[in-house]
Amino acid sequence: MLHAAPSASNEKGDERESLQEATRLLEEEIKLASRPQIYLLLDLSEPILYIKGRGIELHRLPVLQWKTSGGGFLSGLFRLRGRPEVDRPKAEPSKDPSLPTDLEPINLQDMPAEYLLLFEPGLLLVVAPPLHEQPWLWARSRLREWWLRFASWTGVASPADQVAGPRLRLTLTGEAARSLAWTVTDGMPLLIGRTVPL
């Protein structure tokens, strides 16, 4: 099958569009970077999820795959409603002062590798490992995503769990998914888009 060579005007149009998007993202990021906070930048052009502060890359999580649904192309600033639940070990005061409590701390391996994150304005971020790495977690995330959509649509979901708007599914390695769950905090900003113009 033959493809027609892209015309110069089409190329210019694409470049304009990508430059406009990258410029909008930079404007948003400058606002975020001007404040003392940690934020996330999901660059769909690479694709990589960056943990950043003051415009500096602190850490990067490679995205294996991403897919949007339920809305147009996703770009802009969102804020996390709440971080994933963490099962925290509880210390019990020692009955015997000579035997100090020896409690296992939480670590990265205690974080979930499959979870949903709700953002404002309406965005559902589905994080899951790839099918070949952890099939059970992959299937569970599909089921949970489907259930949340169904519950929202039928009105069964609580107001806090109502999902309106687009969904973004991120496939991360188990390690990267746990790192993200560890890092996110309530209200954390997430900037999504393509940062590099064509």
Q: How far apart are CA 191 and CA 91, in angstroms?
A: 37
Pairing of strands 115-120, 65-69: unpaired
User: Toward other proteins, which CB reaches closer, 59 or 67?
Assistant: 59
Binding positions for other proteins, rule: CB under 8 A: 12, 15-16, 19-20, 22-24, 26-31, 33-38, 51, 53-56, 58-59, 71-79, 86, 88-91, 93-97, 99-101, 103, 105-108, 120-121, 123, 166, 178-179, 182-183, 185-188, 197
User: Toward other proteins, which CB reaches closer, 159 or 186?
Assistant: 186
Q: How far apart are CA 143 and CA 170, in angstroms?
A: 15
Cβ 11 to other proteins, closest distance in Å? 10
Cβ 162 to other proteins, closest distance in Å? 16
Cβ 143 to other proteins, closest distance in Å? 27
Cβ 92 to other proteins, closest distance in Å? 8
Q: How far apart are CA 110 and CA 118, in angstroms?
A: 21
CA 43 to chain centre: 11
Sheet holding 115-120, edge to edge: 65-69, 167-171, 123-128, 115-120
